[in-house]
Amino acid sequence: MRVYLSENYSPRANIQVLADSAFEVDCLIDTGFSGGLLLPITYKKHFKKVKTSLKQEYILGNGRKVEYSLYLVEVKFNGISKQVFALFNRNSDAILGIEFLKGLDMDLNLKENTISLT
């Protein structure tokens, strides 16, 4: 598991998700996303035994309101383990949000082109 800057300087993290079985996913780190983990719908196949616990309404950047079913999962990154809510949509990118980042120290240095998450 690692955290890195992509070629276009987007902060990204490789994480492990524990659902029906463990799987790894590469995520965009998005501090504008208040949720925990947003996954492309293709990952829903790993959640057949994970029950949805509640629904949450989100307001998108364009102002549109959408409601998602939330799934409580464990996410692991560099020895850090957190339970967060995961949700699915039709985007192609996985997104790691504030719910996971809360309590962690993220240092984004675009002068040196480095990022750390501890």
Is-contact 74 83, C-beta < 8 A?
yes
pTM, entire model: 0.88
The pLDDT, as a whole number, for residue 72 is 92
The pLDDT, as a whole number, for residue 112 is 94
Fold (CATH) for 3-117: Cathepsin D, subunit A; domain 1 (2.40.70)
Other Cβ atoms closer than 10 A to 92: 8
The pLDDT, as a whole number, for residue 68 is 87
Share of the chain above pLDDT 90, in %: 76
The full set of domain ranges for the chain reads 3-117
If you write DSSP's letter for every residue of 17-57 in order, what string do you get? EESSSEEEEEEEE-TT--SSEEEEGGGGGGGSSSPEEEEEE
